[in-house]
Amino acid sequence: MTVQVGDTLPENTKFSYVPYRDENSGITACGIPVNYDANKEWAGKKVVLFAVPGAFTPGCQNKHLPGYISKFEQLKSAGVDIVACVAFNDAFVMSAWGKANHVKDEILFLSDPKIEFSTKIGYTLGERTGRYALIIDDLKITYADMDSGPGVVEKSAVDAVLSKL
């Protein structure tokens, strides 16, 4: 089943996440992963969730993530409360990816290591998360689209998302 506009975020949507802390700000410093309950944290909020097939990979690092970093303030000005990135990588890799890009807690780097969430919404790329974007408003999906193939960053790009806010 593929997620549709108007659907509700699946129940029990949880990710693994290493919260940013100043004492763990070094790229080789490891924080402790926690369960991030999206249903609880995103209730009553507008969220932009974008997914990548893998942290540090060329398309994700060079084409996808930079737009969300550079246009973060535009997303906030458009009423977005939370910007989150998800990938199949574990929480430690996702945390390091955020640190490597000098992102503290502006963007959440969430792990979907068993691609449970991405499978639930029908947006996978083999054994990885697909490259997709969702806009979620008070747990209702108002935009959902996935790019067509490896290295393609169009429907999930920040400009596509901004045009739907």
At 34, give phi and psi (nearest 5°). -125, 160
DSSP reduced 3-state for 134: strand
Residues designated catalytic: 60
pTM metric for this prediction? 0.96
- Report pLDDT digits (tens) over 113-154: 899 999 999 999 999 999 999 999 999 999 999 999 888 999
Which superfamily does 14-21+31-162 belong to?
Glutaredoxin (3.40.30.10)
